[in-house]
Structure 1
Amino acid sequence: MDRKELIRQIESYQSAYIEELAYKRRFLDLLSFDNCFERSLSFGHITASAWVLNPNRDAVMLLHHKKLDRWLQPGGHADGDEDVVRVAQKELSEETGLTQVKLLKDGIFDLDIHAIPARKADLAHEHYDVRFVFVALQPDEMKKNEESNDLAWIPLEQLDDYVAGEASILRMLEKSKHL
């Protein structure tokens, strides 16, 4: 995937969630900046993440992020790579050790824009997160890295206990029921 394909997918992306439809225009505006895949675009930049289900599709892999002190799906900065599927897979592998995964749905699974607070030299900014859904083929091969306090398969019926009403994660939960 490159910028042109990402633009095409965002333009044709359909969602039952009104917030995602509002995000589409903002994503397309951001993609007009040459450096939108770089952290150097200080007000916001493209990120990618992986919503990873276990083979039974009754649990999702989440990590407890050290810096943000929250349970989140694996993901991170594009750092210049326009292939956001590759970015999501790279972040998934780095953050969880899972390398044997299969894309469950071609194209975008979810779009989200969320605020990142100021920290040290970084100003407050937004992450324009393109999300893809995967299934782990070998779910026991997980291994956390230094960015996380913990890593776990969270049963879908217990997810809200971990994410405390985080709307975008609960939105992906709902979407998972229709895969």
Structure 2
Amino acid sequence: MSAITLSGVGYYKPRTARDRKMWRHLRKFCESEPQAFGRNAETGHVTGSAFVMSPDMKCVLLTHHRKLDRWLQLGGHCDGIADVPFVALKEAYEESGLSRIKPLSGQVFDVDIHEIPQTAKDRAHLHYDVRYLFQAEAGEIAVSGESHTLAWVPLDRLQEVTESPGVLVLREKLALFLSGGA
């Protein structure tokens, strides 16, 4: 399947049945929901995430998310900004403390739609999470207020810190990307 574009999100080339299903749902949501890039828990919303790789591409930077109490990639809400690649990079800088991060591709790396559990403040809702691939170039990591901690996790040990299919998908997608297939 050739690359497809979606305004505010960018280009994506779905490779698997999972990819096609996620992209189809994201497109339908963005086309039908006027507040797709807002923060409405009633409808769900688009979020932007960053898989930030180490300079040697052997580790990914994960955050132990304070509210969700899980290891996840960096990222966050668009808060009305309909430029998801920008949001993903902004969140990567804010949550990592790194001083230089470079995009490794101009395309969407992955799409993952998942439910965020109910909190005292919000009802359970969907995050239409659009992920991009980056590489750390300079700086030391520093924990933000949104995290318990940060860690460079070796790709071959990813399953030791998370069972999340939305994070574990990184390994197969990265292998394809590095082989020139993405």
TM-score surpassing 0.5?
A: yes
Q: Does 1:170 align with 2:168?
A: yes
Question: Which secondary structure state, in structure 1, belongs to the residue aligned with residue 170 of structure 2?
Answer: helix
- Take 2:85 and 2:73, find their aligned partners in 1: how far apart are those partners? 14
- How many residue pairs align between the two structures? 172
> Aligned-residue CA RMSD in angstroms?
1.7
Q: TM-score, normalised by structure 1?
A: 0.90
Q: Is the 8 A contact 1:66 1:148 kept in 2?
A: yes
- Take 1:37 and 1:156, find their aligned partners in 2: how far apart are those partners? 31
Q: TM-score, normalised by structure 2?
A: 0.88
Runs of 4+ in structure 1 off by over 4 angstroms are none
Change (3 A) 1:76 1:5: closer
Letter in 1 for 2:119: R
Q: Is the 8 A contact 2:74 2:95 kept in 1?
A: yes
* Alignment-derived partner of residue 104 in structure 1: 104
Q: Is the 8 A contact 2:54 2:61 kept in 1?
A: yes
Residues 148-179 of structure 1: CA deviation (Å, up to 9, x unaligned): 11101011111110112x21211112111232
- Take 1:161 and 1:3, find their aligned partners in 2: how far apart are those partners? 35
TM-superposed CA distance for 1:121, in Å, is 2.4
Q: Which runs of 5+ in 1 are unaligned?
A: none
TM-superposed CA distance for 1:3, in Å, is 6.2
Question: Which secondary structure state, in structure 2, belongs to the residue aligned with residue 75 of structure 1?
Answer: strand
Q: Is the 8 A contact 2:96 2:143 kept in 1?
A: yes
TM-superposed CA distance for 1:5, in Å, is 5.3
TM-superposed CA distance for 1:99, in Å, is 3.3
Aligned-residue sequence identity (percent) comes to 40
Q: Is the 8 A contact 2:50 2:74 kept in 1?
A: yes
Q: Does 1:75 align with 2:78?
A: no
Q: Which runs of 5+ in 2 are unaligned?
A: none
* Alignment-derived partner of residue 160 in structure 1: 159
Change (3 A) 1:25 1:3: closer
